[in-house]
Amino acid sequence: MLYEKKGRYIVEFQDIPKARQHHIEIDVDERRMNNKEVELGFDEDRALKEAKRCLSCRRCLGCALCWAECKPEAIVFDMQDEVFDLEADSVIVSPGVERAVDRVDRKYGLGRELNVITDLQLERMLSDSGPSAGLIIRPLDGDIPSRMAFVQSYASSTAPRMHKAAVIFGVNEAILVKRKLPHAQVTFFAEGLDAVLEEAGATQQSLNGAKVVESPVKGVEGNADGSIQVAFGAGDETAAFDLVVLLTQPQVPRELKDLGKSLGLTLSYASFFVGDGAGVITTEKDAVALAAEV
């Protein structure tokens, strides 16, 4: 069925009820002289009806259903981009950070083994507002891991400050994992970890009993039961884990590199990790500086 709104023909989906469901509330008489909760939320029937109102993940077909259903009319399809010319005496560029997974060597199994994830994926998993509501689970089967490994997935010759940022990020995640799963066995594979922790004013005790292996990982392979076999050390040492988390290297986003070129700046992938603690990094342009990682 179609209907017209402001000259547009809108597809009306019959599986989306029009009426919004409202929370169940206790009667007025029951509220008197007490501190009882007034709104009781949804019962099963209302929850199902409200969920069916969701537009789901249909690809945008240009049907303008979102525009038709948006009561404040916040969606404007004909809005045009505007370009402003601003004059400034100085500019500080805040680079932000990206962790490009395309730089991760295939030997670490990312994209090949479901139970190999990145530190950013674990960050979302640890968040109470994340996809698993703060529950740490294996992507393969949803089981809670009892053996986890954090693996440095970049070369040890990388920029020292970048290495420090990547390792400390992983250490903080390992601490959170031990708090959520106190009985889980956590192993940390990273080079120069003691030096990084010392510079950061921390010790291995902060890892809450996680095992530390100062050795690069040669590669990972999936086992038939979904566990991940990690090869490391100078010999043929291996260990099996339920979940492997790859430490990725933060780097300057591609957009900033393009901006640097347009401004005549020379930016490396770790430019924002070479500051002296002053908060900004000078560049070839006297009026342009980078916000530093401090």
Tell me: do 237 and 260 sit in the same domain. no
DSSP conformation class of 251:
B
Domain for residue 77, yes or no? no
Tell me the C-alpha distance between 80 and 86, whole Å.
19
Tell me: do 125 and 153 sit in the same domain. yes
- In three-state secondary structure terms, 289 is strand
The pLDDT of residue 113: 92
**pTM (predicted TM-score):** 0.64
Domain for residue 241, yes or no? yes
Contact 197, 206 (CB under 8 A): yes
Cα 136 → chain centroid: 14
Tell me: do 263 and 192 sit in the same domain. no
What does each C-alpha distance from 181 to 35, 111, 185 come to in angstroms?
Answer: 36, 25, 9
Tell me: do 242 and 106 sit in the same domain. yes
- In three-state secondary structure terms, 61 is coil
Tell me: do 205 and 275 sit in the same domain. no
The pLDDT of residue 80: 86
**Is 250's pLDDT higher than 60?**
yes
Tell me the C-alpha distance between 166 and 181, whole Å.
22
Tell me the C-alpha distance between 173 and 153, whole Å.
16
Task: Give the pLDDT confidence of 123-150 residue by residue, as tens digits.
Answer: 999 998 888 888 999 998 889 999 999 9
**Is 72's pLDDT higher than 90?**
no
Tell me: do 114 and 233 sit in the same domain. yes
Tell me the torsion sign for CA atoms 59, 61, 65, 68.
Answer: positive
Helix/strand/coil percent split, the chain, to 5? 25, 20, 55
* Residue 196 domain boundaries: 101-247
Q: Looking at the 3D structure of the chain, how many domains does it have?
A: 3
Helix (H) or strand (E) holding 47: helix 44-51
Tell me the C-alpha distance between 280 and 49, whole Å.
53
Within 10 Å of residue 282's Cβ, how many Cβ atoms? Answer: 12
**Is 57's pLDDT higher than 60?**
no
Q: Which amino acid is at 286?
A: D
Pairing state of beta strands 217-222 and 211-213? unpaired
Q: Average pLDDT over the chain, rounded to whole?
A: 81
Tell me: do 120 and 172 sit in the same domain. yes
Tell me the torsion sign for CA atoms 195, 271, 97, 218.
Answer: negative
Tell me: do 146 and 209 sit in the same domain. yes
Mean pLDDT comparison of 9-18, 23-32, 285-294, highest-scoring range = 23-32
**Is 241's pLDDT higher than 90?**
yes
Domain containing residue 228: CATH number? 3.50.50.60
Indicate the range of 51-65, 177-191, 244-258 predicted with least confidence.
51-65
Tell me the C-alpha distance between 239 and 234, whole Å.
14
Tell me: do 163 and 219 sit in the same domain. yes
Tell me the C-alpha distance between 165 and 211, whole Å.
20
